[in-house]
Amino acid sequence: MKILLTAFFVGTGSILAAETPDIDMAAREASVVTLQKHVDQREKRLAEVNAEIRGRGQATNAKIEELVKMLSDLKDSQDSKRRISQVKAEAVAGLKRMIGIYQSERSKISEQLQRNHPASAEALKADTKIIDDLVEKRAADIVELVKSMPGGEDVAKYERDSETYYDGVYYENSRITEEWRQNRRDKVQSEKLRRETQQALAKAIEDLKRRQGALKGAVSESGISAAEREIQQEELNRVGGLLKQREAQLVEVSTPSTAPEETASMDEASDIKKLFVDARADISSDFNKTLQLYHAAAAEREKIAGLKENLAGRKKWLEENKAPGKKSE
């Protein structure tokens, strides 16, 4: 290998020389080719993971919508008592938990956007859009289930049971009707779920209004960058739209609605409960797997961003240090 004398020092009767090898341009160029292949490989893998996420997400959403429709089309009978209403309440609780997880993931993405995360801002914004859509779907499912809860009706409490004569006096014996008992059960369950949903929506509206005020202040600050102002303005617009939607949903769940016509017998309610338990387990498992895949995709995206930054740096170095007269490929 060709050796260059790069430095020397003259001491008492001796000369010390430091020698370094030539820069191997061919090796540098080869490293760019290899790194490009690495980037292509990781992007292919990311595309595969994203495709799996989409497929799983669509399948999970279909399962949830099918379950919500089935429950929304049913109500309890005098035979099933409160079983269908209880399943509906469990479904609403599960949907609320899903929304909580979505919101937690969205907060993490917002933090990444604020600190100029290596992953592209456009990809992160696309993630937030997907999460926002999922939150709205689950919120709409909750409203649908709550609206399907039968409210109280004007039902006669007593019915004639028997009649007797005593000392020439006619007595009519009555009893509480089963229809009235079921109506009371429906009313109690319905009012409980509606009240809980109304309270949750009222709290969400309060939080959104507080968030809206904070964002208005942030957008008007003079010291923030144009990019940060754009992010804050987009969030302000989103919060404004969300606030209107939550207010409309609060009106929906507070307004009396028509109960489903179809009733479930005791055996049907028992079968539906078993179906719901299995479906809930499937949805929970699929949801967790999809979430794991999303985290893997996010990590892969960060890795690709780092690789691309490295690749751009190497290409720039080669361009700046190429031999005079040599054309870059």
Alpha carbon distance 40, 48 (integer Å): 12
Contacts of 20 (CB under 8 A, 6+ apart): 4, 6
- For residue 71, the number of C-alpha atoms closer than 13 Å in the C-beta half-sphere is 29
Alpha carbon distance 152, 180 (integer Å): 10
- The answer to whether the beta carbons of residues 119 and 298 sit under 8 Å apart is yes
pLDDT digits (tens, 9 = 90+) for 305-315: 899 999 999 99
- The answer to whether the beta carbons of residues 85 and 149 sit under 8 Å apart is yes
What residue ranges in the chain does DSSP mark as E strands? 3-10, 15-21, 74-76, 158-166, 169-176, 262-264
Which position has the higher pLDDT, 40 or 116? 40
pLDDT digits (tens, 9 = 90+) for 130-186: 999 999 999 999 999 999 887 655 555 556 665 666 666 666 666 655 565 666 676
User: What's the pLDDT score for residue 295?
Assistant: 94
pLDDT digits (tens, 9 = 90+) for 29-45: 999 999 999 999 999 99
Residue 76 to residues 148, 191, 249, 262: CA-CA distances in angstroms?
Answer: 11, 15, 25, 9
Here the tokens at position 144 are 């649908």
Mean pLDDT across the chain, nearest whole number? 83
Per-residue pLDDT, averaged over 221-234, amounts to 83
pTM > 0.75: yes or no: yes
Alpha carbon distance 182, 76 (integer Å): 8
